[in-house]
Amino acid sequence: MKVGIDARALLAERTGIGVYTEQIARGLSAQPDVDVTLFAPRAIDGRAGFPAVVRQRPSRHALGTVWVQTRLARALVAEGSDVLLSAVTIAPARIDVPYVPVVHDLTPLTHPEWHRRKTVVAFLPWIERTLERSARIIAVSRATAADLGRRFPETRGRTVVIGHGVDPRFSPEAVPGEAEAVRREHTGGRPFILYFGTLEPRKNVGALVAACERLWRERRDRPDLLLAGGGGWKSEPLVARIARSPFRDRIHRTGYVPLEAVPALLRAAEVFCYPSHEEGFGLPVAEAMASATPVVISTAPALLEVAGDAALAAPAADPAALAEALARLTDDADLRRALAARGIERAAAFRWADASERTAAVLREAAGGGPGRAAGA
């Protein structure tokens, strides 16, 4: 089976969908009957280090949205692809190859104010037609599948839930002196609460800053806050908010963190906090749990689904409740140890090999015209 993958998410700094695309392409290429080709409007950065069996077919186009709708379908046919995995959800409106979109979340539809205009323009005009003609649909969590079914009831019979995995690099095993080196580099040697992700409205980082300010007003000896991740859409108000904080010397920023540096960062943290308003899966939560770092999350359905009983949770819109959860963890070493142990066990259930094997099965069915294949696709 020849699988084409829309690999646009690999063109920029690797964040959630980029990590997914890279890992699922690797996993599919390891299947004995799967031949993988990555399609993109430009050449993909070679640092990903894909196996030699994974081919790349870049085009020359500045706009990814236009490329999908004008070039991708023809490129798939020219390559002889049997099926397209639309890793960035949207598929060409006119396509003769069956396809399977991956729905990470529907926030460009439900909360367009959380996204860049180009993201909304690339999503809203095409999502209904993409779902209507898809052979099957992959949702990355039960929460995303439920949201999809509520808004597009006709998709329920074609949707399969396949979660993410955790790379083996995320583990409790640290090299000697690692945590101390991370703290010296980022927080002047002080312990820290960690947020890892893009700084953008959906991630609700302002509430985390407010929660930490409450902690420090109560006790100055509590850990600093380290915000690890690049600035995203509408991050300027957050930056200004931090600059005005009376505790701005306790709030540190790393900018974008290369993927190879993330495991050490997670292991060095006292607590990992992910207070998003909404997520499709919440991969950093699973990676933090695998690293034996205790976790505080919001009550976003996908995050509760991923973390189970291995994290403390507070409503995203309630900084006081978030501060209380953080205080419980930072002040109680026994609770930290208990959550760390539960997290390791919980994270072990998320394996990229399993996700890839299940994805390959869905793609085989779509390529073979099995149940759910769209008429005329």
pLDDT digits (tens, 9 = 90+) for 274-328: 999 999 999 999 999 999 999 999 999 999 999 999 999 999 999 999 999 999 9
**22, 151, 217, 365, 369 from 82: Cα distances, Å:** 20, 29, 60, 11, 10
The percentage of residues in the chain with a pLDDT greater than 90, rounded to a whole number, is 85
Question: Which among 97, 276, 294, 112 has a CA at the least distance from the CA of 198?
Answer: 276
SS3 302: helix
- pLDDT of 63 > 90? The answer is no
Cα 267 to its chain centre, rounded Å, is 19
d(CA 355, CA 199): 28
- Report all structural domains of the chain as residue ranges with CATH numbers, in order of start: 2-165+352-367 (3.40.50.2000), 178-347 (3.40.50.2000)
Residue 232: per-residue pLDDT: 74
More confident residue, 336 or 13: 336
Residues listed for the chain: 377
Mean pLDDT, all residues of the chain: 93
d(CA 314, CA 152): 29
Residue 48: per-residue pLDDT: 58
In this structure, which long-range contacts are made by residues 175-182, counting pairs with CB atoms below 8 Å and at least 24 apart in sequence? 178/264, 178/267, 178/268, 179/267, 179/268, 181/264, 182/264, 182/265, 182/267, 182/268
Residue 344 and residue 292 in contact, taking contact as beta carbons nearer than 8 Å = yes
CB-count exposure of residue 218 (10 Å: 0-12, 13-18, 19+) = exposed
Residue 13: per-residue pLDDT: 81
**pTM for the complete prediction?**
0.93
- Mean pLDDT, residues 4-33 taken together: 93
Structure-token pair, residue 332: 């109680």
Residue 76 and residue 99 in contact, taking contact as beta carbons nearer than 8 Å = no
The percentage of residues in the chain with a pLDDT greater than 70, rounded to a whole number, is 97
Question: Which among 54, 59, 62, 55 has a CA at the least distance from the CA of 73?
Answer: 59
Residue 78: per-residue pLDDT: 95
Residue 372: per-residue pLDDT: 37
- pLDDT of 47 > 90? The answer is no
**Side-by-side strand order, sheet with 99-103:** 55-58, 35-40, 2-6, 83-86, 99-103, 137-139, 159-161
**57, 68, 257, 328, 357 from 49: Cα distances, Å:** 15, 24, 18, 42, 21
